[in-house]
């Protein structure tokens, strides 16, 4: 029996700095309606979907910074998206900048929520791998100040039973770290959903711009194949507030194959029918962790030679 899930990866074009949240929500509702008409069970929106990716510029005024955060989810401004999901009977994933008061202090995270077809929140994730810097970088064409504006996520890599399978989330830079996929796979994830804001130009490695799209798909395909998991990754694409971002929104099968991908840098719905049972077939064969994976043997060599030194290498 196949557990088929029709997923809409809702790539988003740029969000202009003066675009009100209500206008962005209208764009998301339009993409959600397209998906519902096409029979989608789940719509995946991108990272920090409601505002421009503000870590790309330096701010010091706290009220200016906090205007980019959601102080509650849903809020009166985002509630229409939740209401439309319930009306259409479609679940969704949404990335947003989260501002919360916890343990007597204000905390800010790069977060995402998974929402059921009834419009109720199933789970939340907070981005763990924050790239970039915690202070202004002089001389750069744009910044990446996620370490300045966000705290490291404190929820780990949870998974939830939802949409007929087991679902997990990660966010953007998490996809470049194999541990993100492995932790979710070890917790049973059959589907991983995420958004990303990825500039073409990486100021930290200026010679890599032509590889931005390749490294995006490489990370996603490797993670999907090496963990036998469906991966849906959604871009905020195009030139947003002067920063050119890659598109490449795609759905990757547990075999590592890209089964659907975006062709534009604008709002574009990419649809794929995903058989969640394919993950189980692969995990009973090549990727059978119990039968083939031997973590108790991985560090035998390094224990003999000292961690990180080649076998027979001279101890310092």
Q: What residues are annotated to the active site?
A: 47, 127, 172
Cα separation of 149 and 127, whole Å? 12
For ligand ING, the closer of residues 175 and 283 by Cβ is 175
Point out which span in 29-37, 193-201, 263-271, 275-283 binds ligand ING (CB under 6 A): 193-201
Q: How far is the CB of 146 from ligand ING (least distance, A)?
A: 6
Q: How far is the CB of 292 from ligand ING (least distance, A)?
A: 30
Which residue in 196, 221, 229, 282 binds ligand ING (CB under 6 A)?
196
- Restricting to residues 104-133, which ones interact with ligand ING according to CB under 6 A? 131
Q: Nearest-CA neighbor of 151 among 112, 73, 97, 223?
A: 97
- Binding track over 218-247 against ligand ING, x by CB under 6 A: ------------------------------
Q: How far is C-alpha 125 from the chain's CA centre?
A: 10
Render 240-303 in DSSP notation, one character per residue. ETTEEE----EEE-TTS-EEEE--SSSSEEEEEEEETHHHHHHHTTTT-HHHH--GGGTTHHHH
How many residues make contact with ligand ING (CB under 6 A)? 10
For ligand ING, the closer of residues 202 and 226 by Cβ is 202
Q: Which two tokens stand for residue 26?
A: 């209208």
- Tell me if 24 sits within 8 A of 45, measured CB to CB: no
176 sits near ligand ING (criterion: CB under 6 A):
yes
198 sits near ligand ING (criterion: CB under 6 A):
yes
Q: Which two tokens stand for residue 297?
A: 């043997």
Phi-psi region of 39 (alpha: psi -120 to 50; beta: other; left: phi over 0): left
- Restricting to residues 141-170, which ones interact with ligand ING according to CB under 6 A? 144
Interface positions with ligand ING (CB under 6 A): 131, 144, 172-173, 176, 196-199, 202
């Amino acid at each position: 029996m196949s557990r088929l899930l029709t997923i809409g990866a809702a790539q988003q074009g740029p969000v202009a700095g003066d675009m009100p949240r209500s206008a962005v929500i209208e764009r998301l509702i339009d993409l959600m309606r397209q998906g519902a008409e096409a029979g989608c069970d789940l719509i995946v929106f991108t990272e920090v979907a409601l505002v421009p990716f503000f870590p790309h510029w330096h701010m010091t005024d706290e009220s200016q910074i906090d205007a980019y955060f959601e102080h509650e989810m849903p809020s009166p401004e985002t509630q229409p998206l939740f209401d439309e999901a319930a009306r259409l009977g479609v679940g969704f994933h949404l990335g947003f900048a989260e501002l919360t008061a916890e343990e007597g202090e204000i905390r800010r995270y790069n977060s995402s929520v998974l929402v059921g077809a009834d419009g109720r929140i199933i789970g939340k994730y907070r981005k763990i791998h924050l790239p970039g810097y915690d202070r202004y970088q002089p001389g750069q064409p744009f910044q990446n100040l996620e370490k300045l504006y966000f705290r490291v996520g404190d929820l780990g890599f949870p998974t939830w039973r939802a949409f007929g399978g087991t679902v997990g989330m990660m966010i953007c830079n998490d996809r470049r770290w194999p541990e993100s996929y492995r932790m979710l796979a070890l917790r049973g994830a059959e589907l991983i959903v995420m958004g990303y804001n990825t500039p073409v130009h990486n100021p930290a490695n200026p010679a890599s711009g032509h590889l931005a799209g390749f490294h995006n798909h490489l990370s996603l395909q490797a993670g999907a194949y090496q963990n036998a998991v469906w991966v849906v990754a959604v871009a905020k694409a195009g030139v947003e507030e002067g920063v050119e971002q890659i598109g490449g929104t795609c759905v990757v099968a547990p075999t590592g194959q890209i089964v659907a991908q975006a062709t534009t840098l604008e709002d574009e719905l990419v649809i794929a029918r995903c058989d969640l049972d394919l993950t189980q077939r692969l995990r009973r064969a090549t990727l059978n962790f119990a039968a083939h994976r031997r973590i108790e043997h991985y560090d035998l060599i390094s224990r003999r030679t000292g961690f990180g030194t080649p076998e027979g290498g001279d101890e310092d």
